[in-house]
Structure 1
Amino acid sequence: MTGFRRGLRAALPLMLGLAPFGLVVGVVSQGQGLTLFETLLMSAAVYAGTAQLLTMQLWADPAPLLAAALATFAVNVRMVPMGAALAPVLDRMRGWRRWLAAGTIVDHSFALGVADMRGGARDGGFLLGIGVVLWLAWVLVATLGHVFGGLVRLPAGSPLFFAATATFCALLVPLWRGRRELWPWLLAAGVALAAARLGLPQPVPLLGGALSGAALAAWQERRA
Protein backbone atom coordinates (compact mmCIF):
# COMPACT_ATOMS: atom_id res chain seq x y z
CA MET A 1 0.00 0.00 0.00
CA THR A 2 2.93 2.37 0.58
CA GLY A 3 3.94 2.14 -3.06
CA PHE A 4 0.35 2.59 -4.21
CA ARG A 5 0.03 5.78 -2.16
CA ARG A 6 3.34 7.02 -3.58
CA GLY A 7 1.93 6.46 -7.05
CA LEU A 8 -1.25 8.36 -6.20
CA ARG A 9 0.76 11.38 -5.04
CA ALA A 10 3.09 11.24 -8.05
CA ALA A 11 0.14 11.18 -10.46
CA LEU A 12 -1.67 14.23 -9.09
CA PRO A 13 0.50 16.91 -10.80
CA LEU A 14 0.13 15.10 -14.14
CA MET A 15 -3.59 15.87 -14.17
CA LEU A 16 -2.79 19.49 -15.09
CA GLY A 17 -1.66 18.29 -18.50
CA LEU A 18 -4.17 15.46 -18.74
CA ALA A 19 -7.28 17.61 -18.19
CA PRO A 20 -7.15 19.84 -21.32
CA PHE A 21 -6.32 16.86 -23.54
CA GLY A 22 -9.21 14.84 -22.12
CA LEU A 23 -11.60 17.77 -22.49
CA VAL A 24 -10.66 18.06 -26.17
CA VAL A 25 -11.35 14.35 -26.70
CA GLY A 26 -14.74 14.73 -25.03
CA VAL A 27 -15.63 17.82 -27.06
CA VAL A 28 -14.61 16.17 -30.34
CA SER A 29 -16.60 13.03 -29.52
CA GLN A 30 -19.67 15.16 -28.85
CA GLY A 31 -19.14 16.99 -32.13
CA GLN A 32 -18.85 13.70 -34.01
CA GLY A 33 -22.20 12.57 -32.69
CA LEU A 34 -21.10 10.01 -30.10
CA THR A 35 -23.45 9.56 -27.18
CA LEU A 36 -22.33 10.09 -23.62
CA PHE A 37 -22.24 6.33 -23.04
CA GLU A 38 -20.18 5.75 -26.20
CA THR A 39 -17.69 8.43 -25.13
CA LEU A 40 -17.45 6.92 -21.66
CA LEU A 41 -16.98 3.41 -23.06
CA MET A 42 -14.34 4.48 -25.60
CA SER A 43 -12.35 6.48 -23.04
CA ALA A 44 -12.43 3.62 -20.52
CA ALA A 45 -11.62 0.81 -22.97
CA VAL A 46 -9.24 2.51 -25.41
CA TYR A 47 -7.64 4.91 -22.91
CA ALA A 48 -5.39 6.56 -25.49
CA GLY A 49 -6.06 10.18 -26.37
CA THR A 50 -4.07 10.26 -29.61
CA ALA A 51 -5.68 7.05 -30.85
CA GLN A 52 -9.16 8.30 -29.93
CA LEU A 53 -8.68 11.60 -31.76
CA LEU A 54 -7.18 9.84 -34.77
CA THR A 55 -10.11 7.44 -34.94
CA MET A 56 -12.64 10.26 -34.71
CA GLN A 57 -10.86 12.17 -37.48
CA LEU A 58 -11.40 9.13 -39.68
CA TRP A 59 -15.04 8.84 -38.57
CA ALA A 60 -17.35 8.43 -41.53
CA ASP A 61 -20.35 6.46 -42.75
CA PRO A 62 -19.54 3.71 -43.50
CA ALA A 63 -16.77 3.61 -40.91
CA PRO A 64 -13.28 2.80 -42.33
CA LEU A 65 -12.62 0.07 -39.78
CA LEU A 66 -9.40 -1.25 -41.33
CA ALA A 67 -7.86 2.21 -41.77
CA ALA A 68 -8.77 3.20 -38.21
CA ALA A 69 -7.39 -0.06 -36.82
CA LEU A 70 -4.08 0.32 -38.68
CA ALA A 71 -3.72 3.96 -37.65
CA THR A 72 -4.35 3.30 -33.98
CA PHE A 73 -2.03 0.28 -34.08
CA ALA A 74 0.77 2.43 -35.46
CA VAL A 75 0.23 5.06 -32.78
CA ASN A 76 0.03 2.61 -29.88
CA VAL A 77 2.67 0.04 -30.91
CA ARG A 78 5.12 2.00 -28.74
CA MET A 79 3.40 0.45 -25.71
CA VAL A 80 5.08 -2.89 -26.50
CA PRO A 81 8.66 -1.78 -25.74
CA MET A 82 7.34 0.28 -22.83
CA GLY A 83 5.89 -2.83 -21.21
CA ALA A 84 9.11 -4.75 -21.86
CA ALA A 85 11.17 -1.99 -20.21
CA LEU A 86 8.94 -2.17 -17.12
CA ALA A 87 9.12 -5.98 -16.95
CA PRO A 88 11.31 -5.96 -13.78
CA VAL A 89 8.41 -4.26 -12.00
CA LEU A 90 5.53 -6.12 -13.66
CA ASP A 91 7.16 -9.53 -13.03
CA ARG A 92 6.92 -8.92 -9.29
CA MET A 93 3.13 -8.58 -9.48
CA ARG A 94 0.55 -11.34 -9.67
CA GLY A 95 -3.01 -11.80 -10.89
CA TRP A 96 -5.29 -8.86 -11.59
CA ARG A 97 -2.77 -6.35 -10.22
CA ARG A 98 -0.29 -7.18 -12.99
CA TRP A 99 -2.94 -6.97 -15.70
CA LEU A 100 -4.35 -3.71 -14.33
CA ALA A 101 -0.89 -2.14 -14.05
CA ALA A 102 0.04 -3.25 -17.59
CA GLY A 103 -3.31 -2.14 -19.01
CA THR A 104 -3.04 1.38 -17.60
CA ILE A 105 0.53 2.11 -18.76
CA VAL A 106 0.73 5.41 -20.63
CA ASP A 107 3.63 7.72 -21.46
CA HIS A 108 3.32 9.45 -18.08
CA SER A 109 3.34 6.32 -15.94
CA PHE A 110 6.11 4.81 -18.08
CA ALA A 111 8.38 7.81 -17.53
CA LEU A 112 7.81 7.86 -13.77
CA GLY A 113 8.09 4.07 -13.52
CA VAL A 114 11.43 4.02 -15.34
CA ALA A 115 12.73 6.88 -13.18
CA ASP A 116 11.67 4.95 -10.07
CA MET A 117 13.45 1.81 -11.34
CA ARG A 118 16.62 3.77 -12.01
CA GLY A 119 16.47 4.89 -8.39
CA GLY A 120 16.68 1.25 -7.35
CA ALA A 121 12.98 0.55 -6.67
CA ARG A 122 10.99 -2.39 -8.03
CA ASP A 123 7.61 -1.41 -6.59
CA GLY A 124 4.61 -2.52 -8.63
CA GLY A 125 2.29 -0.63 -6.31
CA PHE A 126 3.86 2.66 -7.43
CA LEU A 127 3.14 1.89 -11.08
CA LEU A 128 -0.36 0.67 -10.25
CA GLY A 129 -1.17 3.80 -8.24
CA ILE A 130 -0.18 6.10 -11.11
CA GLY A 131 -2.09 4.04 -13.66
CA VAL A 132 -5.34 3.86 -11.70
CA VAL A 133 -5.44 7.57 -10.89
CA LEU A 134 -4.69 8.65 -14.46
CA TRP A 135 -7.21 6.20 -15.91
CA LEU A 136 -9.99 7.42 -13.62
CA ALA A 137 -9.09 11.06 -14.30
CA TRP A 138 -9.06 10.46 -18.05
CA VAL A 139 -12.50 8.87 -18.10
CA LEU A 140 -13.93 11.63 -15.90
CA VAL A 141 -12.45 14.53 -17.87
CA ALA A 142 -13.40 13.09 -21.27
CA THR A 143 -16.94 12.61 -19.99
CA LEU A 144 -17.06 16.20 -18.74
CA GLY A 145 -15.80 17.39 -22.11
CA HIS A 146 -18.69 15.62 -23.80
CA VAL A 147 -21.29 16.93 -21.34
CA PHE A 148 -20.11 20.53 -21.53
CA GLY A 149 -19.00 20.33 -25.15
CA GLY A 150 -20.80 23.46 -26.15
CA LEU A 151 -19.33 25.47 -23.28
CA VAL A 152 -15.68 24.39 -23.43
CA ARG A 153 -15.30 24.54 -27.21
CA LEU A 154 -11.91 26.24 -27.55
CA PRO A 155 -10.45 28.12 -30.52
CA ALA A 156 -7.77 26.31 -32.50
CA GLY A 157 -4.95 28.46 -31.12
CA SER A 158 -5.93 28.25 -27.44
CA PRO A 159 -2.87 27.94 -25.15
CA LEU A 160 -4.67 25.21 -23.21
CA PHE A 161 -3.95 22.79 -26.05
CA PHE A 162 -0.23 23.11 -25.24
CA ALA A 163 -0.71 21.71 -21.71
CA ALA A 164 -0.53 18.08 -22.85
CA THR A 165 2.63 18.76 -24.90
CA ALA A 166 4.21 20.62 -21.98
CA THR A 167 3.52 17.64 -19.71
CA PHE A 168 5.24 15.24 -22.11
CA CYS A 169 8.26 17.58 -22.30
CA ALA A 170 8.47 17.75 -18.50
CA LEU A 171 8.40 13.94 -18.31
CA LEU A 172 11.67 13.83 -20.27
CA VAL A 173 13.56 15.33 -17.32
CA PRO A 174 13.68 12.20 -15.09
CA LEU A 175 14.60 10.07 -18.12
CA TRP A 176 17.73 12.07 -18.94
CA ARG A 177 20.91 10.17 -18.06
CA GLY A 178 23.62 12.47 -19.38
CA ARG A 179 25.24 13.72 -22.56
CA ARG A 180 25.50 10.23 -24.02
CA GLU A 181 21.76 10.35 -24.76
CA LEU A 182 21.94 13.74 -26.47
CA TRP A 183 22.40 12.50 -30.05
CA PRO A 184 19.53 9.94 -30.03
CA TRP A 185 17.23 12.58 -28.58
CA LEU A 186 18.30 15.19 -31.14
CA LEU A 187 17.94 12.72 -33.99
CA ALA A 188 14.45 11.68 -32.85
CA ALA A 189 13.34 15.31 -32.56
CA GLY A 190 14.91 16.26 -35.90
CA VAL A 191 13.35 13.40 -37.84
CA ALA A 192 9.91 14.01 -36.31
CA LEU A 193 10.04 17.75 -37.03
CA ALA A 194 11.30 17.19 -40.57
CA ALA A 195 8.52 14.70 -41.30
CA ALA A 196 5.92 17.11 -39.91
CA ARG A 197 7.34 20.00 -41.99
CA LEU A 198 7.12 17.84 -45.11
CA GLY A 199 3.43 17.43 -44.41
CA LEU A 200 3.57 13.70 -43.80
CA PRO A 201 0.43 12.48 -42.01
CA GLN A 202 0.41 11.14 -38.48
CA PRO A 203 1.66 8.80 -37.19
CA VAL A 204 4.63 9.03 -39.63
CA PRO A 205 6.45 11.85 -37.74
CA LEU A 206 5.86 10.13 -34.41
CA LEU A 207 7.06 6.72 -35.54
CA GLY A 208 9.93 8.10 -37.62
CA GLY A 209 11.33 10.05 -34.71
CA ALA A 210 10.89 7.23 -32.23
CA LEU A 211 12.43 4.54 -34.42
CA SER A 212 15.37 6.64 -35.58
CA GLY A 213 16.25 7.71 -32.04
CA ALA A 214 15.90 4.15 -30.75
CA ALA A 215 18.08 2.79 -33.58
CA LEU A 216 20.88 5.24 -32.82
CA ALA A 217 20.66 4.51 -29.08
CA ALA A 218 20.83 0.76 -29.77
CA TRP A 219 23.87 1.26 -32.00
CA GLN A 220 25.58 3.26 -29.25
CA GLU A 221 24.84 0.51 -26.74
CA ARG A 222 26.36 -2.13 -29.03
CA ARG A 223 29.51 -0.07 -29.48
CA ALA A 224 29.81 0.36 -25.72
Structure 2
Amino acid sequence: MKHRKPEMIRGARANVPVAASAMAYGSVLGVLAAQKGLNWLDMMYMNSAVFAGAAQFVMVDMWSNHMPIFEMTLAVLVINLRYLLIGASLDPLFSGRGLLHKMGMMHLVADENWAVTMSEQRNGSATTWFLFGGGVFLYLAWSSGTLIGLLGGGFITRPEEYALDFAFTAVFTALAVGLWRGKSDILPWVVAGAAALLAHKFLPGKWYIVAGGLAGAVSAMLSPCETDEVEEVEDVPSY
Protein backbone atom coordinates (compact mmCIF):
# COMPACT_ATOMS: atom_id res chain seq x y z
CA MET A 1 0.00 0.00 0.00
CA LYS A 2 2.80 2.40 0.90
CA HIS A 3 4.42 1.88 -2.51
CA ARG A 4 1.30 3.02 -4.38
CA LYS A 5 2.26 6.70 -4.81
CA PRO A 6 5.90 6.09 -5.87
CA GLU A 7 4.75 3.53 -8.43
CA MET A 8 2.16 5.93 -9.86
CA ILE A 9 4.81 8.66 -10.14
CA ARG A 10 7.22 6.23 -11.79
CA GLY A 11 4.53 5.17 -14.26
CA ALA A 12 3.69 8.79 -15.08
CA ARG A 13 7.36 9.62 -15.70
CA ALA A 14 7.81 6.61 -17.95
CA ASN A 15 4.90 7.79 -20.11
CA VAL A 16 6.09 11.39 -20.59
CA PRO A 17 7.39 10.81 -24.18
CA VAL A 18 4.21 9.09 -25.40
CA ALA A 19 2.01 11.56 -23.51
CA ALA A 20 3.50 14.39 -25.56
CA SER A 21 2.48 12.60 -28.75
CA ALA A 22 -0.95 11.82 -27.30
CA MET A 23 -1.45 15.51 -26.61
CA ALA A 24 -0.43 16.33 -30.18
CA TYR A 25 -2.89 13.99 -31.90
CA GLY A 26 -5.49 14.76 -29.24
CA SER A 27 -5.36 18.34 -30.49
CA VAL A 28 -6.14 17.03 -33.98
CA LEU A 29 -9.24 15.33 -32.59
CA GLY A 30 -10.20 18.59 -30.90
CA VAL A 31 -9.91 20.48 -34.19
CA LEU A 32 -12.12 17.92 -35.95
CA ALA A 33 -14.60 18.02 -33.06
CA ALA A 34 -14.82 21.82 -33.30
CA GLN A 35 -15.64 21.53 -36.98
CA LYS A 36 -18.45 19.10 -36.08
CA GLY A 37 -19.91 21.50 -33.52
CA LEU A 38 -18.99 19.69 -30.28
CA ASN A 39 -18.53 21.82 -27.15
CA TRP A 40 -16.03 21.33 -24.36
CA LEU A 41 -18.53 19.43 -22.17
CA ASP A 42 -19.17 16.96 -25.01
CA MET A 43 -15.42 16.55 -25.43
CA MET A 44 -14.68 15.97 -21.74
CA TYR A 45 -17.55 13.50 -21.41
CA MET A 46 -16.24 11.55 -24.40
CA ASN A 47 -12.70 11.60 -23.00
CA SER A 48 -13.88 10.29 -19.63
CA ALA A 49 -16.41 7.72 -20.83
CA VAL A 50 -14.50 6.32 -23.80
CA PHE A 51 -10.82 7.31 -23.45
CA ALA A 52 -9.75 5.51 -26.61
CA GLY A 53 -8.19 7.64 -29.31
CA ALA A 54 -9.06 5.57 -32.38
CA ALA A 55 -12.66 5.07 -31.22
CA GLN A 56 -13.07 8.78 -30.48
CA PHE A 57 -11.82 9.72 -33.95
CA VAL A 58 -14.49 7.43 -35.42
CA MET A 59 -17.17 8.89 -33.14
CA VAL A 60 -16.32 12.45 -34.18
CA ASP A 61 -16.21 11.43 -37.83
CA MET A 62 -19.74 9.97 -37.50
CA TRP A 63 -21.07 12.93 -35.48
CA SER A 64 -24.06 14.66 -37.07
CA ASN A 65 -27.35 16.38 -36.24
CA HIS A 66 -29.10 13.02 -36.57
CA MET A 67 -26.87 10.92 -34.33
CA PRO A 68 -26.45 7.35 -35.65
CA ILE A 69 -26.33 5.95 -32.11
CA PHE A 70 -26.47 2.26 -33.03
CA GLU A 71 -23.90 2.50 -35.82
CA MET A 72 -21.61 4.62 -33.67
CA THR A 73 -21.85 2.22 -30.73
CA LEU A 74 -21.13 -0.77 -32.97
CA ALA A 75 -18.13 0.94 -34.57
CA VAL A 76 -16.64 1.83 -31.17
CA LEU A 77 -17.24 -1.73 -29.94
CA VAL A 78 -15.45 -3.23 -32.94
CA ILE A 79 -12.46 -0.92 -32.59
CA ASN A 80 -12.16 -1.53 -28.85
CA LEU A 81 -12.32 -5.32 -29.15
CA ARG A 82 -8.54 -5.17 -29.16
CA TYR A 83 -8.72 -4.42 -25.44
CA LEU A 84 -9.70 -8.05 -24.92
CA LEU A 85 -6.23 -8.95 -26.17
CA ILE A 86 -4.62 -6.14 -24.20
CA GLY A 87 -6.39 -7.27 -21.03
CA ALA A 88 -5.29 -10.86 -21.59
CA SER A 89 -1.67 -9.78 -21.97
CA LEU A 90 -1.89 -7.98 -18.61
CA ASP A 91 -3.28 -11.01 -16.78
CA PRO A 92 0.04 -11.86 -15.03
CA LEU A 93 0.23 -8.29 -13.73
CA PHE A 94 -3.28 -8.50 -12.23
CA SER A 95 -2.79 -11.93 -10.69
CA GLY A 96 -4.41 -12.08 -7.25
CA ARG A 97 -6.17 -8.72 -7.63
CA GLY A 98 -9.90 -8.23 -7.08
CA LEU A 99 -12.46 -7.47 -9.78
CA LEU A 100 -12.98 -3.84 -8.74
CA HIS A 101 -9.23 -3.23 -8.82
CA LYS A 102 -9.01 -4.69 -12.32
CA MET A 103 -11.99 -2.70 -13.61
CA GLY A 104 -10.69 0.58 -12.21
CA MET A 105 -7.25 0.06 -13.70
CA MET A 106 -8.42 -1.16 -17.11
CA HIS A 107 -10.56 1.91 -17.77
CA LEU A 108 -7.36 3.98 -17.92
CA VAL A 109 -5.42 1.50 -20.04
CA ALA A 110 -4.54 3.00 -23.43
CA ASP A 111 -2.31 1.58 -26.14
CA GLU A 112 0.53 3.82 -25.01
CA ASN A 113 0.71 3.06 -21.28
CA TRP A 114 0.01 -0.60 -22.05
CA ALA A 115 3.07 -0.72 -24.32
CA VAL A 116 5.23 1.08 -21.75
CA THR A 117 4.02 -1.28 -19.01
CA MET A 118 4.68 -4.37 -21.13
CA SER A 119 8.26 -3.18 -21.70
CA GLU A 120 8.61 -2.62 -17.95
CA GLN A 121 7.11 -6.03 -17.24
CA ARG A 122 9.88 -7.71 -19.21
CA ASN A 123 12.30 -6.22 -16.70
CA GLY A 124 10.18 -7.59 -13.86
CA SER A 125 9.46 -4.17 -12.36
CA ALA A 126 5.92 -3.41 -13.58
CA THR A 127 3.00 -3.08 -11.15
CA THR A 128 -0.67 -2.27 -11.52
CA TRP A 129 -0.04 1.14 -9.93
CA PHE A 130 2.72 1.80 -12.47
CA LEU A 131 0.12 1.09 -15.17
CA PHE A 132 -2.45 3.29 -13.43
CA GLY A 133 -0.05 6.21 -12.98
CA GLY A 134 0.75 6.15 -16.67
CA GLY A 135 -2.96 6.00 -17.48
CA VAL A 136 -3.80 9.02 -15.33
CA PHE A 137 -0.97 11.02 -16.88
CA LEU A 138 -2.05 10.03 -20.40
CA TYR A 139 -5.65 10.95 -19.64
CA LEU A 140 -4.61 14.43 -18.51
CA ALA A 141 -2.37 14.89 -21.56
CA TRP A 142 -5.03 13.59 -23.95
CA SER A 143 -7.78 15.72 -22.43
CA SER A 144 -5.58 18.82 -22.50
CA GLY A 145 -4.75 18.21 -26.15
CA THR A 146 -8.36 17.71 -27.18
CA LEU A 147 -9.48 20.87 -25.37
CA ILE A 148 -6.65 22.91 -26.89
CA GLY A 149 -7.63 21.68 -30.34
CA LEU A 150 -11.32 22.23 -29.67
CA LEU A 151 -10.92 25.80 -28.42
CA GLY A 152 -8.48 26.69 -31.17
CA GLY A 153 -10.21 24.67 -33.87
CA GLY A 154 -11.53 27.73 -35.62
CA PHE A 155 -7.96 28.88 -36.34
CA ILE A 156 -6.77 25.60 -37.91
CA THR A 157 -8.84 24.65 -40.92
CA ARG A 158 -6.30 22.25 -42.46
CA PRO A 159 -4.43 20.31 -39.74
CA GLU A 160 -2.58 18.25 -42.35
CA GLU A 161 -0.61 21.36 -43.36
CA TYR A 162 1.08 21.21 -39.94
CA ALA A 163 1.52 17.41 -40.04
CA LEU A 164 -0.78 17.10 -37.01
CA ASP A 165 -2.64 14.28 -38.74
CA PHE A 166 0.59 12.23 -38.69
CA ALA A 167 1.01 12.33 -34.90
CA PHE A 168 -1.27 9.31 -34.41
CA THR A 169 0.81 7.23 -36.85
CA ALA A 170 4.13 8.44 -35.44
CA VAL A 171 3.44 7.48 -31.84
CA PHE A 172 2.34 3.95 -32.71
CA THR A 173 5.37 3.47 -34.94
CA ALA A 174 7.59 4.44 -32.02
CA LEU A 175 5.71 2.08 -29.68
CA ALA A 176 6.06 -0.79 -32.13
CA VAL A 177 9.82 -0.29 -32.33
CA GLY A 178 10.01 -0.30 -28.53
CA LEU A 179 8.10 -3.60 -28.33
CA TRP A 180 10.31 -5.40 -30.86
CA ARG A 181 12.01 -8.39 -29.16
CA GLY A 182 13.88 -9.94 -32.06
CA LYS A 183 13.40 -12.74 -34.58
CA SER A 184 10.61 -14.37 -32.59
CA ASP A 185 8.38 -11.37 -33.41
CA ILE A 186 8.81 -11.55 -37.17
CA LEU A 187 6.12 -14.16 -37.91
CA PRO A 188 3.36 -12.72 -35.64
CA TRP A 189 4.01 -9.19 -36.92
CA VAL A 190 3.95 -10.27 -40.58
CA VAL A 191 0.78 -12.32 -40.05
CA ALA A 192 -0.92 -9.45 -38.18
CA GLY A 193 0.02 -6.95 -40.88
CA ALA A 194 -1.16 -9.23 -43.70
CA ALA A 195 -4.47 -9.98 -41.97
CA ALA A 196 -5.08 -6.27 -41.30
CA LEU A 197 -4.35 -5.35 -44.93
CA LEU A 198 -6.66 -8.07 -46.27
CA ALA A 199 -9.45 -7.09 -43.87
CA HIS A 200 -9.03 -3.43 -44.79
CA LYS A 201 -9.37 -4.32 -48.46
CA PHE A 202 -12.30 -6.73 -48.26
CA LEU A 203 -14.22 -5.84 -45.08
CA PRO A 204 -16.12 -2.63 -44.33
CA GLY A 205 -15.47 -0.39 -41.35
CA LYS A 206 -12.69 -0.95 -38.81
CA TRP A 207 -12.65 -4.75 -38.69
CA TYR A 208 -9.03 -4.71 -39.85
CA ILE A 209 -7.97 -3.65 -36.34
CA VAL A 210 -9.53 -6.73 -34.77
CA ALA A 211 -8.44 -9.03 -37.60
CA GLY A 212 -4.81 -7.96 -37.31
CA GLY A 213 -4.78 -8.27 -33.52
CA LEU A 214 -6.38 -11.72 -33.47
CA ALA A 215 -4.22 -13.07 -36.29
CA GLY A 216 -1.05 -11.83 -34.62
CA ALA A 217 -2.06 -13.25 -31.23
CA VAL A 218 -2.94 -16.68 -32.65
CA SER A 219 0.29 -16.74 -34.64
CA ALA A 220 2.32 -15.91 -31.53
CA MET A 221 0.60 -18.67 -29.54
CA LEU A 222 1.28 -21.25 -32.24
CA SER A 223 4.90 -20.20 -32.77
CA PRO A 224 7.59 -22.31 -31.08
CA CYS A 225 8.88 -20.68 -27.90
CA GLU A 226 12.55 -19.75 -27.82
CA THR A 227 12.86 -20.71 -24.16
CA ASP A 228 11.71 -24.24 -24.99
CA GLU A 229 14.43 -24.50 -27.60
CA VAL A 230 17.04 -23.31 -25.11
CA GLU A 231 15.90 -25.84 -22.51
CA GLU A 232 16.11 -28.65 -25.04
CA VAL A 233 19.67 -27.67 -25.88
CA GLU A 234 20.61 -27.47 -22.20
CA ASP A 235 19.15 -30.93 -21.57
CA VAL A 236 21.62 -32.50 -24.01
CA PRO A 237 24.42 -34.02 -21.93
CA SER A 238 27.94 -32.80 -22.56
CA TYR A 239 30.89 -35.10 -22.88
TM-score (norm 2): 0.83
Q: Matches of 1:128 and 1:74 in 2, distance apart? A: 24
Report the equivalent of 1:163: 167
1:160-202 per-residue CA deviation (whole Å, 9 max, x = no partner) reads 3222211111112332222022011012223323444x37543
Report the equivalent of 1:215: 218
- Structure 2: which amino acid aligns with 1:220? S
For residues 84 and 205 of structure 1, do their structure 2 counterparts lie closer, same or farther at Cα, with a shift above 3 Å needed? Answer: closer
How many residue pairs match? The answer is 223
Residue pairs, 1:31-110, within 5 angstroms: 31-91=35-95, 98-110=102-114
- Structure 2: which amino acid aligns with 1:38? D
> Does residue 1:8 correspond to 2:7, yes or no?
no
Report the equivalent of 2:142: 138
Q: Matches of 1:150 and 1:25 in 2, distance apart? A: 13
What is the root-mean-square deviation of aligned Cα atoms in Å? Answer: 2.4
2:15, 2:134 within 8 Å by CA — same for their partners in 1? yes
Report the equivalent of 2:235: none
Q: Matches of 2:90 and 2:60 in 1, distance apart? A: 30
Q: How far has the Cα of 1:90 moved from its partner?
A: 2.9
- Structure 2: which amino acid aligns with 1:138? W
For residues 187 and 44 of structure 1, do their structure 2 counterparts lie closer, same or farther at Cα, with a shift above 3 Å needed? Answer: same
Q: Matches of 1:16 and 1:137 in 2, distance apart? A: 7
1:51, 1:75 within 8 Å by CA — same for their partners in 2? yes
Residue pairs, 1:167-182, within 5 angstroms: 167-182=171-186
Q: Matches of 1:59 and 1:43 in 2, distance apart? A: 15
Report the equivalent of 1:29: 33
For residues 209 and 97 of structure 1, do their structure 2 counterparts lie closer, same or farther at Cα, with a shift above 3 Å needed? Answer: closer
1:52-81 per-residue CA deviation (whole Å, 9 max, x = no partner) reads 121222223432111111110000011122
Q: 2:119 aligns with which of 99, 115, 120?
A: 115
- Structure 1: which amino acid aligns with 2:205? Q
For residues 148 and 119 of structure 1, do their structure 2 counterparts lie closer, same or farther at Cα, with a shift above 3 Å needed? Answer: same
Report the equivalent of 1:151: 155
2:21, 2:167 within 8 Å by CA — same for their partners in 1? yes
TM-score (norm 1): 0.88
Report the equivalent of 2:236: none
- Structure 2: which amino acid aligns with 1:205? Y
**Post-superposition, which runs of at least 4 consecutive aligned residues in structure 1 deviate over 6 A?**
none
> Does residue 1:204 correspond to 2:207, yes or no?
yes
Q: How far has the Cα of 1:95 moved from its partner?
A: 8.3
Q: Matches of 2:141 and 2:195 in 1, distance apart? A: 33
1:55, 1:72 within 8 Å by CA — same for their partners in 2? yes
Overall identity of the aligned pairs, in %? 32
2:20, 2:141 within 8 Å by CA — same for their partners in 1? no
Q: Matches of 2:124 and 2:40 in 1, distance apart? A: 43
1:97, 1:128 within 8 Å by CA — same for their partners in 2? no
Q: Matches of 2:82 and 2:185 in 1, distance apart? A: 19
1:26, 1:149 within 8 Å by CA — same for their partners in 2? yes
